[in-house]
Amino acid sequence: MKQTTPIELFDTTLRDGTQGEGVNLSIHDKLSITERLDDFGINVIEGGWPGSNPKDEEYFKEVKNLKLKQASICAFGSTARYPDKVEEDRNLNMLLGAETEVISIFGKTWRFHSSVTLGLTDDQNAELIFRTVQFLKKHGRRVVFDAEHFFDGYKDDPEFAVRMLKAAEQGGADILVLCDTNGGSLPSEISRVFGEVRQRVSRPLGIHAHNDGEMAVANTIAAVQAGAVQVQGTVNGIGERCGNANLCSVLPNLMLKLNLKTQSPVNLQNLTNLSRFVYEVANLAPNTRAAFVGKSAFTHKGGIHVSSVLKDSRMYEHISPEQVGNRRHVLVSDLSGQSNIRYKAHELGIDIADKREFSKNFVQYIKSLEYEGFQFDGAEGSFELLLRSELNTYSPFFEIIYAKINVLLNDGDTDYSEAVLKVKVGDEIEHTASDGNGPVNALDNALRKALMRFYPEVANIHLVDYKVRVLGDKSGTGARVRVLVETGDGKNSWSTVGVSHNIIKASLQALSDSLNYKIFHLRKETVRV
């Protein structure tokens, strides 16, 4: 069936998303995300459950002060506890007290749940749903009925599940959302059930899929193809257990692959930024391999792949990365060919298009370094300095001629590390020392302190991440180590690498590259030591 109705986008990042392990959002976080979702084009933003905790109650008070462009705020809750006490039900009245335009209410559509969890007969459960929806509609709210565990309920007893949908429909529900709450359904099941249900109810249908079978996105797409006009999900797929349908994957598939329209204009070129913003606010590490928006989504490492991408990116990319606000990455590694080198040089603004012999030799040089333990696909800052050095357009801005580390270990909390350095800049030598909460931190502090007089810009940079990898599994403590350092200046970040049998020497190499990279890009000229 060809879908022609514009799709309504229902985001539950702030409610269902926060049920995910390790996901915690302050009220300020939730308000910030609300504004970004509104800017992006989300139609309904489910803000939380006002009857469940004080934070959500406060959110619904504060969100009224936002000047949203088009999104409606939605409060979430359950049906009343007893069919004959709907009017005085505390949770329902708190939902009304949130004063949102939309209310999403979930009810039991699996007999197993209604009889075991609530202890209700079929008639009582249907009456509970009907009266709850009717009560909310009487107060002028748009009501989204979330049919909890609908697919499990339908597989168990189709007549019971549909009867509960009809109860919500008769109560005046504006849309019926079929929920794959346990996340265990397959796309073929979703398509079949949607097709059958559409013949038996008159209200529009929506889909709410969980990802326990890694099918949430596929199930959402299948539901839309079968007639769903509302999709529910979260940014980055965060949520309870294995998460919810990932809107960052659902939307490109709907808009770019199925050519479907959304109710409000959505600029997919903002999708990657939205994904990263939510990760940042939620203090979560981004999924670099996420489809469409992940850093690796359009990353190419093998030389043959890169050669093909340079000719026509469609050979190894199903869409253009710019369509979703992402960009292409080409990595340099022991799998690289000349195409990788030329592409990276072009990306860095370095012209080596006519230097094929250089490209060939540089490829072999990179491969020999990687054989020794270097890794440049995670240290593009070091790669750029290496390339520029081979082209004689860069040389280090300083030379470390002496380094000494003192470490004092105690049983208590008084461990102490000190680094002493002699650094040569031009014809001058700076002799300095600094302490830190560990030897690498002390080394980092001492190096920046030594360079401050010559290159004051290093005061604005800081270590973002530090990783150590032991190379080889048979040498024990005598093995080589690879140190990867990520450094930032508040606007940009870059990564550098060092390799040695001595972890301090490897760290110093990575730190030196990091500072040289920053100075080079600020000065735009080289200074030979």
CA dihedral 11, 48, 215, 254 (to 10 degrees): -10
Architecture of the domain defined by 399-523: 2-Layer Sandwich (3.30)
**Of the candidates 512, 520, 370, which has an alpha carbon nearest to the alpha carbon of residue 362?**
370
Q: How many CB atoms lie within 10 A of CB 155?
A: 14
Q: What is the pLDDT of residue 330?
A: 62
* Measured distance CA(374)–CA(376) in Å, rounded: 6
* Measured distance CA(375)–CA(366) in Å, rounded: 9
Which residues are registered as beta bridge partners of 106?
A: 78, 146
Domain 8-281 shares a fold with domain 399-523: no
Residue 519: both structure tokens together = 């100075």
Mean pLDDT, consecutive 10-residue stretches, the chain (529 aa), reads: 85 96 92 96 97 88 96 96 90 96 97 84 95 97 98 97 98 98 97 97 98 98 98 97 98 97 94 91 87 83 56 71 80 52 65 65 68 69 82 87 84 76 92 88 90 88 84 64 86 86 89 90 56
8-281 belongs to which homologous superfamily? Aldolase class I (3.20.20.70)
* Measured distance CA(169)–CA(130) in Å, rounded: 8
Residue 505 DSSP one-character state: H
Looking at residue 206, its amino acid is G
**Of the candidates 227, 170, 172, which has an alpha carbon nearest to the alpha carbon of residue 198?**
227
Q: How many CB atoms lie within 10 A of CB 360?
A: 13
* Measured distance CA(113)–CA(109) in Å, rounded: 8
Residue 266 DSSP one-character state: -
Q: Phi/psi of residue 287, each to 5°?
A: -85, 100
* Measured distance CA(502)–CA(477) in Å, rounded: 10
Q: What is the pLDDT of residue 465?
A: 84
Measured over all CA atoms, what is the biggest interatomic distance in the chain, rounded to whole angstroms?
91
Looking at residue 130, its amino acid is F
Q: What is the pLDDT of residue 397?
A: 92
199, 192 in Cβ contact below 8 A? no
237 Cβ partners below 8 Å, 6+ apart?
211, 216, 217, 243, 244, 245, 246, 247, 248, 249
Q: What is the pTM of this model?
A: 0.71
Q: Quick check: helix, strand or coil at residue 200? A: coil
Q: What is the pLDDT of residue 311?
A: 56
Are β-strands 480-488 and 493-500 bridged in parallel, bridged antiparallel, or unpaired? antiparallel
Domain ranges of the chain: 8-281, 299-372, 399-523
